[in-house]
Structure 1
Amino acid sequence: MLSLTILIAYSSWLARAIPRPIQEPFSIQPLRTKLHGRFLHITDMHPDPYYIDGASESSACHRNKPRKEKQRSGYYGTPFSSSECDSPLRLTNLTLNFLDRNWASEIDFVVWTGDNARHDNDRKIPRTLKEIYNSNGMIATEMEKIFLKKGVPVVPSLGNNDIWRPNDIISHFSSIWGAFIPFSSYQVFRRGAYYSVEVIPDEVAVISLNTLYFYDSNKAVGGCEYREPDDPGNLQFDWLEVQLKMFRKRGVQVWLSGHVPPSPGNYFPECYVRYVELSLRFQDTILGHLYGHMNNDHFFLLEAEDLQFPSESDLTPADRVVSEGHDGLFDTLVNDFGDLPKKGKADYDNYGVVNVVPSVVPNPYLPSFRIYTYNITHARSETNSKKKKKRKHGHRRGKGNKEELCKKKKYEDSWRCKLNEPWYSDPDAPSRVNTLWSPLGYAQYYLPEERVANKTDKPKFKLEYLTYSLDALHPGDTEEATEFEYPVPLKQLPKGLREGNVTSSKFAPYRMEDLTIPSWVGLARRLGDPTRAKLRKRFKQYMYMGEGS
């Protein structure tokens, strides 16, 4: 039986396509005065009100109980299959209830990166616009109750399955997400469904981007071409540049978030160039990049090299499209990591790091969410003066003479020829060294496969792995140690880790000091080394949540 809570919520939204008047004032609940130094990233819930336990996988888990048990849908989802099944409502409810009981009082804000409706993959039950609104409204109501009403800001992003053909969907989402969007961002959101929230006022902001304007599967936009200044993607980048300049001037640190991650295989070529250039130009202001959509767990680097002009024999970055198949992404990543400069020769001004979080929907892997930790212990006075440094970065503009290359027809209207602003990079910035607001690590939680199929006992999310060193989990173990010094609350750790008697790398394969750019480049360099077979195996195992390992 489905949870009464989620059924009531869904029924309420099913009765109304528009939950609130669009004119309703927007407000953000007062922030807690106490910081925990943690935040939640959750993505791709894909609730499906038509999901039936024991149904045929070939019917998108909607009907027809097959004879073979292996071809039937699971109770909490159907992972590791070739089906197109989404999340049963009981999984959505289980996940949100777990977060409410275990994490709502332990975090400072929530990054929620889209896809809150099922896929449109069943011709007998086509997905409608009303259903998209209902599903998003149902989740938004729960997120507001669990987090926002307790003083925890929530920053949602629009996913590619949250839209339905060209329509006025943005105006409806301005109502559905009314409680999450600051009043000052209302008009901007109504224009393009992107906005910013100061999750820690005057200190840290999250910018939610509408990545559908950059996504190369969206044929309704122009792809950020330079000759089209009114293209939605270009307008969004123009707005983003103004936001980053404003936050930098104020000394506010920023997380960039959205649904579709910025990669050559996902973005239009010119959109990708603009994203990389802004990311590196404001490296001293951007703490990191948080995305979903891909359903698996990985990270990749944004590089200055992606802004170079290729030689005639080279592939441009936009041609480095990730190959399809189980190993395609893994192979692409480790090959790219293998091209990194050796330790001591890397110029960290040239990099940004994108984190892609696995999904709640068990399609095709396992339900998951991630808890990040960030530094809240340094006094602002220690870093404020360093934030305002302006260092012109002499980054390379390509092979050959830029002035001559930009006279060529193939390049003259490329953004590579138009982006000439100095870069603001600083080795003392929070993205580069562990200081106030720097990302320190994360804990990944998931539902093991055997628990997804459990009909008798309500399953609990378990720790999958950590980026921290094991020593960091027990900072001194003295009476003076405060909860701020514990990256993960001890009650949220397995017994062995909680007691501090685990020495293996089962839960801590990476043992990173923090999540600054040098630490990520160091991990990427290790993964790029073909002699590090054991580490690569662990990375691939976590990337695909054990499938085929």
Structure 2
Amino acid sequence: MMWIHTLLFATSFLIDYGFAKPVQTPFEVDATKPRKLHGRFLHITDMHPDPHYLHKAAESTGCHRRKKNKKSKNKECDSPFRLTNYTLDFLNKNWADEIDFVIWTGDNARHDDDRKLPRTPAEIYDLNRHVAAKMTKVFYNKGIPVVPSLAPGPNSITNEYSSIWSQFIPFPYLQVFQRGAYYTTEVIPNEVAVISLNTMYFYDSNKVVNGCPYKDRNDPGNLQIDWLTVQLREYRERGHVPPAPGNYFPECYIRYVELALRFQDTILGHLFGHMNADHFFFLEAEDLRIYPDEDDETKVTSDQGLLESLYVDFATLPKKPKQSELDDYAVVNVAPSVVPNPYLPSFRIFSYNITDKGKRAERTGKRKHGHRRGSEGNKANCKSDEYRNTWRCHLDRTWHSDPHSPSRRNQRWTPLGYAQYYIPHLDQANKTMKPKFELEYVTYKAEDLVPSDEGGQVLVPLRHLPEELISNSATKAEKSKFAPYRLKDLTIGSWVRLGHEIGDSSRKKLRKKFRRYMFMV
């Protein structure tokens, strides 16, 4: 997902976009009566409800049968309906009146891992109808925009989804959605948009697409990025599978990185799910350089492999980045899932700046596409047959990076932080001891959570915070285990500085916290 505004809401919370932007009033909202904004939104991902889930069944059967199936290699289970319903009921009771919109990054059906109980299209549709009906009741019927991201098609499945999700997709984009399952929605009319991408066109495990080759402009991945480019250009003028080298076809990854950096002043964020593990990473200008002696694609084969690769990447980040250096970065946030597989059910409540303080100045920052090591670095390699017809050798558009944009400086629409909630003792839940969502951590400074006497924006309603975070004791609050990162906001500079600190091997306590939140251990 991406989120953008007319300065697009797209660098921590966007999905992706589509073709020329038609005039629209999303969700049948009366534009003459703007909604009262809370400055918060929900990101929820990977529910995976399983209608065949059987309590106390063997994990080796996907929790479908009590007798273990020795031939099955599956060691994980999806969510019982009791958990998905509990999660949405909890959000309905505690958060539906506190948020402005919902970003919902799939997946809404069980995994197809049980050979004795194969998943059928009919089951997928039924599960999606069930979840869509619940989302409609909890959010949409209350006037809260819901933006789902899907990953099918284009085929009969896409057409079926367009029917299931019709209330969530603005009418002018239904035809685009039917073709490719991607679309854009203005969650705050004329101000903030969320773009939902079909990342299956980029995913390197998808064998029915070609992987965005430069010479095949009709490849579904290329068509989607062309569509996204038009959307970003239109918005500038007015997250399901995360984009990582190990997930995307190399050429699709290159196009996505270049687009994220080219429209850095427009995009507020990139939000994704799918991987279950809580983490963030960077898209960098350096990714666009050609290094002939290096493998283009790095596969991460385990959670520990992912963690170690992040440490290595973070260690190369600048300690005190200059504004010109920040032009070369975009941040991707990957949220943990609702499914307790293999970690614990979670969701995030983001906050963003809704004050008028620090309105954006006129765009002045334009620079040619380039890299920290010089813009001439690819020229020699691009003369070779190996690289001549690759995207790295044809990305020469002007980049729009501006230190005064909301992704770089705290102002109206800037993402400020998030609070993450989880169920810490799910294995102990039973009929007498119900599961309970609790705060896991916040990205904010603890002292910023209690509004001053002069008022100001409430980042997280105090009733949703533990006592130690709102304690009168400043020392106690500052050292709270719930506030490990102490970020003043979620601008690119804040993320780069945090990444550098985590990449420092001497910061063992911070690394331990990052690992604990990542894997819930």
Q: TM-score, normalised by structure 2?
A: 0.89
Matched residue, 2:27: 28
User: Which of 189, 207, 211 in structure 1 is aligned with 2:195?
Assistant: 207
Matched residue SS, 1:189: helix
Q: 1:137-167, CA deviations, whole angstroms, 9 ceiling, x for partnerless residues?
A: 11011111111111110110114xxx5x984
Write the distance in 1 (CA, Å) between the matches of 2:471 and 2:318.
40
Among 327, 333, 337, the alignment partner of 1:355 is 333
Question: Deviation at 1:341?
Answer: 2.8
Q: Cα distance 1:210–1:450, how it changes in 2: closer, same or farther (>3 A)? A: closer
Q: What residue is the counterpart of 2:436 in the other structure? A: 460
Aligned residue identity for 2:343? Y
Mapped contact 1:27–1:178 kept (Cα < 8 A): no
Alignment of 1:155 with 2:147, yes or no, is yes
**Residue among 124, 140, 160 paired with 1:132:** 124
Check the 8 A contact 2:468/2:480 in 1, yes or no: no
Identity of aligned residues (%): 60
The 5 A counterparts of 1:154-303 are: 154-159=146-151, 163=152, 167-250=155-238, 257=239, 259-303=240-284
2:394 paired residue number = 418
- In structure 2, the partner of 1:329 is 306
Which amino acid counterpart does residue 315 of structure 2 have in structure 1?
G
Tell me the alpha carbon deviations over residues 391-428 of structure 1, each in whole angstroms, 9 at most, x when there is no partner: 44543587865333222101111001111001000000
Residues 186 and 155 of structure 1, relative CA distance in 2, 3 Å threshold: same
The answer on whether the counterparts of 1:39 and 1:108 sit within 8 Å (CA) in structure 2 is yes
CA distance in 1, matches of 2:472, 2:268: 30
Q: Which amino acid aligns with 1:333?
A: L
Q: Distance in 2 between matches of 1:500 and 1:233?
A: 53
Backbone CA RMSD of aligned residues: 2.2
* 1:112 paired residue among 74, 95, 104: 104
The 8 Å contact of residues 53 and 61 in structure 1, kept in 2 or not, is answered as: yes
Residue in structure 1 matched with residue 460 of structure 2 by the alignment = 488
Contact 2:284 2:328 in 1 (8 A): yes
Asked whether the equivalents of residues 29 and 148 of structure 1 are also in contact (C-alpha less than 8 Å), the reply is no
Post-superposition offset of 1:326: 3.3
Please state how far the C-alpha of 1:59 moved relative to its aligned partner.
Answer: 1.2
Q: Does 1:530 align with 2:508?
A: no
| TM-superposed deviation, 1:57 | 1.2
- Residues of 1 paired with 2:382 and 2:368: CA distance? 22
Query: Which structure exhibits the higher relative contact order, with contacts defined as CA atoms closer than 8 Å and separated by 6 or more residues?
Result: 2
Paired residue secondary structure (2:380): helix
In structure 1, C-alpha distance between the alignment counterparts of 2:343 and 2:120, rounded to whole Å? 26
Query: In the alignment, which residue of structure 1 is the partner of 2:16?
Result: none
Aligned-partner residue type, residue 139 of structure 1: V
- AA aligned to 2:64 is H
- Is residue 40–residue 371 contact of structure 1 (8 Å, CA) maintained in 2? yes
- What residue identity is the alignment partner of 1:540? R
1:369 equivalenced with 2:347 (yes/no): yes
8 Å Cα contact 2:429/2:435 also seen in 1? no
Correspondence for 1:407: 383
Instruction: Please name the residue that 1:86 is paired with.
Output: 78
What is the correspondence of 1:336-351 to structure 2 with a 5 Å cutoff?
Answer: 336-344=313-321, 347-351=325-329
Give the one of 429, 442, 450 matched to 2:405: 429
C-alpha distance in structure 1 between counterparts of 2:180 and 2:402, whole Å: 32
Deviation at 1:280, TM superposition (A): 0.1
Structure 1 residues 389 and 440, CA gap change in structure 2 (3 angstroms): same
Q: CA deviation at 1:387?
A: 4.1
| SS of residue in 2 equivalent to 1:534 | helix
Contact 1:349–1:393 (8 Å) recurs in 2: no
Query: After alignment, is 385-394 or 168-177 more displaced?
Result: 385-394
Conserved? CA contact 1:283–1:425, under 8 Å: yes
Question: Any idea what SS the aligned residue of 2:127 has?
Answer: helix
Deviation at 1:209, TM superposition (A): 0.3
Tell me if the contact between 2:53 and 2:78 (Cα under 8 Å) persists in the aligned partners: yes
8 Å CA contact 1:110, 1:152 repeated in 2? yes
Matching of residue 514 in structure 1 with residue 510 in structure 2: no
Residue of structure 1 equivalent to 2:62:
60
Give how far 1:449 is off: 2.6
Q: How far, CA to CA, are the matches of 2:349 and 2:154 in structure 1?
A: 35
Residue 106 of structure 1: CA displacement? 0.4
Query: Which letter maps to 1:236?
Result: Q
Q: Structure 1 residues 520 and 326 mapped into 2: Cα distance closer, same or farther (>3 Å)?
A: same
SS in 2 for 1:283: coil
Deviation at 1:454, TM superposition (A): 3.2
Counterpart-to-counterpart distance in 1, 2:136 and 2:196: 17
Q: Separation in 2 of the partners of 1:121 and 1:402?
A: 43
- Equivalent position of 1:472 in the other structure: 448
Contact 2:57-2:65 at 8 Å conserved across structures: yes
- Decide whether the 8 Å contact of 1:386 with 1:429 is kept in 2: no
Letter in 1 for 2:124: I
Alpha-carbon offset, residue 459 of structure 1 = 1.8
Cα distance in 2, alignment partners of residues 457 and 401 from structure 1: 61
* Aligned mates of 2:416, 2:340 — CA distance in 1: 28
- Alpha-carbon distance in structure 2 between the residues aligned to 1:56 and 1:232: 40
Q: How far apart, in 2, do the equivalents of 1:498 and 1:401 lie?
A: 52
Tell me, yes or no, if the aligned pair for 1:84 and 1:121 is still in contact at 8 Å: no
What runs of 5+ residues in structure 1 fail to find an aligned partner?
1-25, 72-80, 251-256
Corresponding position of 1:37: 39
Which residue pairs with 2:288 in the alignment? 307
Letter in 1 for 2:27: I
Q: CA deviation at 1:429?
A: 0.4
Partners of 1:388 and 1:197 in 2: CA distance = 27
Which residue number corresponds to residue 146 of structure 1? Answer: 138
Cα offset for 1:468? 0.2
Q: Deviations over 1:268-327 (max 9, x none)?
A: 0000000000000000000010000000100000000000111x33x25x32322x2231
Answer whether contact 1:86 1:119 (CA < 8 A) is retained: yes
Q: Following TM superposition, by how much is the alpha carbon of 1:535 offset from its aligned partner in structure 2, in angstroms? A: 0.2
